[in-house]
Structure 1
Amino acid sequence: NFLILFVVMAVFLWKPLMQSLDKRRQMLEKEKEDAAALAEERANIAAERARVLDQARGEANKITATAREQAQAVAEQFAQEMRQKEADVLAEARQAAEEERNRILGEMRDQIAALSIAAAQKIIGETLDDQRQQALVESFFSGIREGRVEVLADGAEVGPAGAPVTITSALPLTEEQQATVRRDLAARMGGESEIAFQVDPQILGGLVVRVGDRLVDGSVTGQLERLHQSLA
């Protein structure tokens, strides 16, 4: 009876039980596979998130660096413009001051001439006529005698035509005196050149002529300095 009962149980119970166990095993394996797939997906999501964050940080750093560079460039440009503006203002102020000084010296020309004539008369002990007085003073301050630049010796090489020329005088030269200087230099140099006229009261009188790199100092200050050196 027991054997019959065992056979009946094996036929009717064992097989369903094994099938149930197989299904359970398959379900567990499926859950395990699903868990592994889910874990892999989570890992991929985390990696993608990290990649996106790194990319975002990199782009943010680039934007920040670009903005910083642009801000620095703007600041440097602004500073340069301010320096240029300051230099322009100073240059204009110097130019205005020089023009005002020259204007005042020009207006004082007659007074300076009168004082110079009085001093000359006292030194030489004789009275000069008006024409001689005027010629003496004009020659002293302009460095021009008989239509020639006195400091430039006759026949001396001055420089090639077209070389830049700077003429410095103690008082502003009149338009007539400037024209005389231009004619004399053009004749000596074989052609016209660009001439700049400057005023420096410290040279006292005469002219300082610069042609290119060559300097001819016919100023009173220069003559006194050379005299001092010769006597030393």
Structure 2
Amino acid sequence: HQQLVQRFWQSPTIAKKAGCNAVDLFDEIAKGKIKAIWVMATNPMVSLPNNAAIQNALEQCELVVVSDCIAKSDTLKFADVAFPSTGWGEKNGTVTNSERRISRQRPLVEPFSGAKNDWQIMCLVAQKMGFEGFDFTDPSGIFEEWAQLTDFENNGDRLLNLSALVGLSQQQYDNLKPVMWPVLKNEPYKNGQVFVNKQFSTADKKARFIPITPKLPVQQTSSDYPFVMNSGRIRDQWHT
């Protein structure tokens, strides 16, 4: 979909290949191939494996920028630039869960003095760097662009389609009730349903099944080290 996004944005350039995953990213930093990193909404010194390697990469990186909603963290210690961002109770926008349900997220409290939402920080930095297209003033504007993109040149081959949510007024956005995509303007009877035509979003419309070979974890227990510690995930606490 790279060319489609490029046409939608009317951008002269766009990335032609996928970037690194989180673990490979820090390997590339350690090799000197990546010179700058902006850490946002995570704490890799705690959430990623082998924190000694993560620390080594952050110490070598020429520019480390960290956005965080707390004043001290294991990753913030390595920041050359630190931005105060908002926490979940201060955020305003939408959240989409794993069942494709979009819900409005409304702030419980005003942002702490000086803190800004991640999108605001990104827009301000981009504007200072002279880039266009980062003139958003409200989360509703970002949602509008996303909704337009899902509908752009979408003849039904892309399941994610929010055509019925394009052009919402500010009040309609503020009052948006939880809704499951797709949300179709011309076919509302299909709202929230996928695969009703018995086809998948692939070139031949068939599902992709990948065989796997079960393997034991790389890190095995032993008589000297009988336990494995994992930071874990629960419903209300993810990573750190």
With structure 1 as the length reference, what TM-score do the two structures score? Answer: 0.20
Highest relative contact order (Cα 8 Å, sep 6+), 1 or 2? 1
With structure 2 as the length reference, what TM-score do the two structures score? Answer: 0.19
Larger Rg: 1
